[in-house]
Amino acid sequence: MFDFCKIQKGGHMAKEKEEQKEILLPGVVLKARLKELGMTQKFLASQLAIQASHLSEIIRGKKSLTEQYAKKLAEVFDEPASFWLHLQAEYDFKNKTADEDGTAEKNAQYALSQYDELYDLKEIFKRTGMQKTSCREKLNFCTTVLNFGSMTEQRQMNMGYFHRSAKTGLDIRMISTWSVLAMYAASQKTDPIGDFNKGKCDELSLKLASIFNDNIDTINRVERMLSDYGIKFCVVPKVKHASIDGFSFYQNGVPSIAVTKRFERIDNLAFAVLHEIAHLKNHLSKDGIGKVNLVDPDAESLATEEKEANEYASNILIPNSLWESAKEQEIALNPFIIQRKFSKWAREHQLNKWIVLGRLSHETGIYMFKSDDSRKIH
């Protein structure tokens, strides 16, 4: 388990506690007085009518200064008994607070260890700038900013729709980690300019398809376009063991789309964004109806809705009727000849060649096309 309090144990909290003891411990003041007067602890013990060992324990903070001893100290030194009793009271209060703080820190660490079973908290705190905070601050961040609930609530929470590679395994903990980071990133974005209307999703998608075909200042243009239609957009770098391309969800009534750009390719980005638009249009609602429980990622409803979203994205990027005509071309055995022929077909129909070749790869299993700089997201 990651030691969430490691920094605090060896850092400023321990130092601060030590400084508080040095300042407030009555024995420190008493020792200083003895030094000023050139008086030995043995002599003072005789004046107080106590054993030298007992006085030593008072000086080291092992025993408290009682009212009886405070009055005797007032007879030896210039300070009144109230001065010594005040020092003791201050020390006792600070020491009690420090003990309570320590208990609270341990309780917070335990709570974090429970959440860490569901999320990679080390990764979350690293990306959100919470690494060097105390366990209590981290826990407060989890419950108030990330809106973590009870463990039962977190395990049963419906997250949304993920577009992920079917060829890789599903690591629920890391997918959940990335989803938390995606929702946090969305929460830091300003509200979109427009209001979301499901009836305008097709109009929006066609405009996005045009942006993807151009592939110029793509991320900024996509974000602005989505904002105009009432959708937040953010790019959240991938995490290990989570082959996610995109994620759609509602946050405080506002729809959001997050993507990873894990391949940094225009065809992957275009498909991921439009796939999530399909979920917002057909499957998601503000009250959470239709969201998928990640505990059961292979649910039949998910398979159906993922297929619908795939078909929607494909048809927006290249209308199915047009794509059927493209497939009528003779498929050569040489991938380079195929790439040349379909690139020419893409130009003739004013489509991005990599969106065309990407779909061809997905449907035929031919992936040996030679990539160039134009496939990158620009």
Report which listed range, 94-108, 140-154, 238-252, 290-304, is most confident.
238-252
**Among candidate residues 297, 317, 337, the one where a domain is terminated:** 317
Residue 155 binned pLDDT confidence (cut-offs 50, 70, 90): low
Residue 7 binned pLDDT confidence (cut-offs 50, 70, 90): very low
Return d(Cα 257, Cα 208) in angstroms, integer: 13
Same domain? For 86 and 182 the reply is no
Does some domain include residue 246?
yes
Please tell me the predicted confidence (pLDDT) of residue 24: 59
Same domain? For 221 and 356 the reply is no
Same domain? For 68 and 194 the reply is no
Same domain? For 135 and 222 the reply is no
CA-based nearest residue to 59, from 74, 41, 86, 80: 41
Least reliable range by pLDDT among 146-160, 188-202, 229-243, 265-279 = 146-160
Please tell me the predicted confidence (pLDDT) of residue 279: 92
Question: Rounded to the nearest 5 degrees, what angle is found at the Cα of 287, between the Cα atoms of 283 and 291?
Answer: 40
Query: Looking at the DSSP assignment, which residues form a beta bridge with residue 265?
Result: 376
Model confidence at 161: pLDDT above 80: no
Same domain? For 308 and 325 the reply is no
CA-based nearest residue to 276, from 316, 239, 328: 316
**Among candidate residues 317, 333, 348, the one where a domain is terminated:** 317
Does some domain include residue 193?
yes
Does some domain include residue 197?
yes
Same domain? For 235 and 137 the reply is no
Same domain? For 311 and 164 the reply is yes
Same domain? For 25 and 98 the reply is yes
Q: Which CA distances in Å does 76 have to 44, 79, 85? A: 8, 9, 15
How many other CB atoms are there within 10 angstroms of residue 171's CB atom?
16
Q: What percent of the chain has pLDDT over 90?
A: 41
Copy the structure tokens of residue 312: 């929607």
**Residue type present at position 228:** D
Same domain? For 242 and 278 the reply is yes
How many other CB atoms are there within 10 angstroms of residue 336's CB atom?
11
Q: Which CA distances in Å does 221 have to 96, 209, 347? A: 57, 11, 22
CATH number, position 122: 1.10.260.40
Instruction: Provide φ and ψ at 240, rounded to 5°.
Output: -65, 150
Please identify which residue in the block is written with the tokens 């979350």.
124
Does some domain include residue 153?
no
Does some domain include residue 361?
yes
Does some domain include residue 130?
yes
Whether the Cβ atoms of residue 255 and residue 232 lie closer than 8 Å to each other: yes
Instruction: Provide φ and ψ at 146, rounded to 5°.
Output: -85, -10
Least reliable range by pLDDT among 21-25, 47-51, 110-114, 372-376 = 21-25
**Among candidate residues 282, 301, 317, the one where a domain is terminated:** 317
What residues make up the domain containing 307? Answer: 158-317
Does some domain include residue 79?
yes
Does some domain include residue 341?
yes
Residue 52 binned pLDDT confidence (cut-offs 50, 70, 90): confident
Same domain? For 180 and 309 the reply is yes
Same domain? For 89 and 174 the reply is no
Q: pLDDT, tens digit, for every residue of 76-90?
A: 888 888 888 888 887
Please tell me the predicted confidence (pLDDT) of residue 101: 74
Same domain? For 178 and 259 the reply is yes
Q: What's the chain's Rg over C-alpha atoms?
A: 33
Q: pLDDT, tens digit, for every residue of 178-215?
A: 999 999 999 999 999 999 999 999 999 999 999 999 99
Q: pLDDT, tens digit, for every residue of 93-124?
A: 777 776 677 788 888 898 899 899 889 999 99
Q: Quote the number of domains for the chain.
A: 3
CA-based nearest residue to 283, from 259, 320, 261, 255: 255
How many other CB atoms are there within 10 angstroms of residue 119's CB atom?
23
Long-range contacts of 42-46 (CB under 8 A, 24+ apart): 44/76
Model confidence at 47: pLDDT above 60: yes
Q: pLDDT, tens digit, for every residue of 313-323?
A: 999 999 999 99
Whether the Cβ atoms of residue 74 and residue 30 lie closer than 8 Å to each other: no
